[in-house]
Structure 1
Amino acid sequence: MGCGRVGASLAEQLEANGHSVAVVDQNPDAFRRLPSNFGGRRVTGLGFDREALAQAGIEEAHAFAAVSNGDNSNIIAARVVRETFGVDNVVARIYDPRRAEVYQRLGIPTVATVRWTADQVLRRMLPLGAVSEYQDASSKVSLVTCDVHTDWVGESVARVERATGARVAYLTRLGRGLVPEPGAVVQENDVVHLMVATDRIGAAQRVLATPPPKED
């Protein structure tokens, strides 16, 4: 929902990655921001209107992003899509960081516009695997962001390190970086940043993409 610069960019990136995309906006002129070769649906209407969502194919949707320029519209649309249509992968863009934190605690993943970009929205919609953020001069050590299976929520940072053979450099929680204490646990919607040997990135991501292994 929303065909501004962020919405148009998301639609273009998702379609380029082979996904079927529908864009909903109440202003038909907004669709001019889409590429001329965009093959997805263009639906004129409100993103929280059930008929408009039905035209967009919400009943078959894997994910939904509410990225209009209104906080209230984005939150209402996100709740309708999750609670009425049962779409699990839902994210809402919020301009007010304080409100974003409140909705995050209510279980609605949010992106505070001033801190985050379209790439961060994509990470909440689709599993992208490990993304490299930094490599040392020898390329032997990398700082990566990993997708984490929901079963890791509540597990300790120490267990993450034992299972992956890596170090948790920091967590991003509610849009803010956090250096975890030794006894810290992974919380819902945390982004985990690992410092890991470059040749072990794939192995570490495979561990975190599945439920925690049993320990003796």
Structure 2
Amino acid sequence: MQIIIVGCGKVGSTLAEQLSREDNDVTVLDINGQRVEQLVNELDIMGYIGSGISFDTLMEAGVKKADLLIAVTGSDELNLMCCLIAKKAGDCLTIARVRNPEYSRETEFLKKELGLAMVINPELTAAGEAARVLRLPTAISVEVFAKGKVEVLKFRIKPDSPLCRMEIQEIGPKLKSDILVCVVERGGEIIIPNGTFVLQERDNVYVAGAQKKRRNFLSVSASAPDR
């Protein structure tokens, strides 16, 4: 893919590095010439010095042929304007970094009216993840699906856990917990377990269920993770 990244701060630099490693044709754009030069030299990519809201600069950077433009400067307004101009100048997908909570509440409106493929807010995402982990402190990780309606929890079975050496079909009756064990990771192998599958120490277990039932399950399973 031909990708233009507007903004060479921490987020932009990380994106440029990752996307260039995946064999994408990456071009960076920033008003800070030193940042542009550094990324161009380190990653062997194209770079242009200028503003992301300059039509001429975007055209020079190749917006006409670009498949995707990602605007991640420190200004929400500049990111949104940059995506709007890019959408009008070319026919690429656009992604804007938007950190202002007021804008974040209008994500669907912004996507529709400005033709954005995606609005990202790394800080809000990180805060949401922290809140989920704090709400479920015994979980190693919390993955969210279906726009937040479904959460799949991952935790590790410790030697003193009541789940250790227990068959999956025994979890409901013995722990009075109505959850679904989706996947078990054991020794690098991914297993889709049946009812007679026996859980063992250090298994990484992925479970899904209603929020209250998940909390009850984690509290009785007492499987604090190794951090």
TM-score, length-scaled by structure 2: 0.51
Deviation at 1:31, TM superposition (A): 2.1
In structure 2, what residue type is equivalent to 1:91? I
2:160 aligned partner: none
**Residue 35 to residue 84, structure 1, CA distance change in 2 (3 Å):** closer
**Percentage of pairs with the same residue:** 23
Letter in 1 for 2:47: R
Structure 2 spans left out of the alignment, 5+ residues: 1-5, 127-141, 152-180, 184-189, 193-227
The match for 1:113 is 122
| Structure of larger gyration radius | 2
1:79 positional shift: 1.1
Counterpart residue number, 2:97? 93
Instruction: Give the length in aligned residue pairs.
Output: 135
CA distance in 2, matches of 1:98, 1:14: 30
Q: Which of 157, 161, 171 pairs up with 2:146?
A: 171
Whole-angstrom CA distance in 2 between matches of 1:199 and 1:62: 38
**Cα 1:29/1:179, change in 2 over 3 Å:** same
Report what 2:47 is aligned to: 42
Offset at 1:101? 3.0
- In the TM superposition, residue 34 of structure 1 has moved relative to its aligned partner by 2.0
Matched-pair contact (CA < 8 Å) for 1:171–1:178: yes
CA gap of 1:171–1:97, structure 2 versus 1, over 3 A, is farther
Tell me the secondary structure at the aligned position of residue 95 of structure 1.
coil
| Structure 1 range deviating more: 65-74 or 55-64 | 55-64
Q: CA shift at 1:93, angstroms?
A: 0.4
Matched, 1:104 2:104: no
Mapping for residues 49-198 of structure 1, pairs under 5 Å: 49-87=54-92, 89-107=93-111, 108=116, 109-116=118-125, 170-172=145-147, 177-179=148-150
Contact 2:48-2:61 at 8 Å conserved across structures: yes
C-alpha distance 199-114 of structure 1, shift in aligned 2 (>3 A): same
CA RMSD after TM alignment: 3.0
SS of equivalent to 1:48: coil
Q: What is the Cα deviation at residue 98 of structure 1?
A: 2.5
Q: Residues 101 and 84 from structure 1, CA distance in 2 versus in 1: closer, same or farther, beyond 3 angstroms?
A: farther
Q: Would the aligned equivalents of 1:97 and 1:112 in 2 still touch at CA under 8 Å?
A: no
SS in 2 for 1:90: strand
C-alpha change, 1:35 and 1:170, in structure 2 (3 Å) is same
Question: 1:35 & 1:3 partners in 2: Cα distance?
Answer: 11
Show the counterpart of 2:20: 15
Going from structure 1 to structure 2, the CA distance change for 1:81 and 1:196 (only over 3 Å counts) comes to farther
TM norm structure 1: 0.54
Query: Which letter does structure 2 place at the counterpart of 1:98?
Result: E
Question: Aligned partner of 1:114: which letter?
Answer: E
Cα 1:36–1:196 change in 2 (3 A) is farther
- Aligned to 2:42, the other structure's residue is in SS state coil
**What 5-or-longer segments of structure 1 have no aligned partner?**
118-142, 145-168, 181-194, 201-216
2-side partners of 1:33 and 1:199: how far apart? 45
C-alpha distance in 2, partners of 1:69/1:114?
12
User: Hey, what's the Cα distance between the residues in 2 that align with 1:36 and 1:116?
Assistant: 31
